[in-house]
Amino acid sequence: MYSNPFTQGGWQSSINPRASSTSNTVPQPSLFGALPFATLNPIPMFVFFRITSFSLSILNSTVMGPQGNTYFRISTDTPTPGFTIITNSTNQPTIIIEWRKHPVLEIRDIVPKQKSSQWLAKGKTFVWAPDGESIRLSV
């Protein structure tokens, strides 16, 4: 049995003549990916964050994400001198940086306390660039 592969259910009926075009199956990509196939929620290639609400420096600021949502708040020396505390959107401490001769950081429940030189990705370039009233970080 031959059928037009560009009609709805064309491949389905030619591969499996018993398949119903009214079944609740997810449509498969046409021609094994040779033609465009729309996804329901494409994953963005980049997610941009803006560092705003500076109070003297970015060490006292707010990190905004997509749709202007607050992702993190950064506070230094408040309430504890010698520390930078980064809280998440629910105001829970997430990252703690202890400013020593060799700074130490901890990401709660993910990275135990260690020197920052051990944590930063080696061989990667990090770029901080001004963007209007904010600073943008690119990797």
* Pair 70, 64: CB distance under 8 Å: yes
Q: Is the pLDDT of residue 60 over 80?
A: yes
pLDDT band at 61 (very low <50, low <70, confident <90, very high): very high
Gap between the Cα atoms of 1 and 109, Å rounded: 59
- In tens, the pLDDT along 109-128 reads 988 999 887 877 767 777 77
- In tens, the pLDDT along 85-105 reads 999 999 999 999 999 888 899
Q: What residues contact 82, with CB distance under 8 A and at least 6 apart?
A: 98, 99, 100
pTM: 0.56
Written in H, E and C, the secondary structure of 30-71 is: HHHHCCCCCCCCCCCCCCCCEEECCECECCCEEEECHHHCEE
Q: Is the pLDDT of residue 49 over 80?
A: yes
- In tens, the pLDDT along 25-48 reads 555 555 555 666 666 677 777 788
Output the six-digit token pair for 133.
């009233």
Gap between the Cα atoms of 104 and 119, Å rounded: 9
Share of the chain above pLDDT 70, in %: 68
Handedness of CA 47, 108, 95, 97 (dihedral sign): negative
- Of the listed ranges 37-46, 63-72, 127-136, the one predicted with least confidence: 37-46
β-bridge pairing 70-76 and 61-64: antiparallel
Q: Is the pLDDT of residue 16 over 60?
A: no
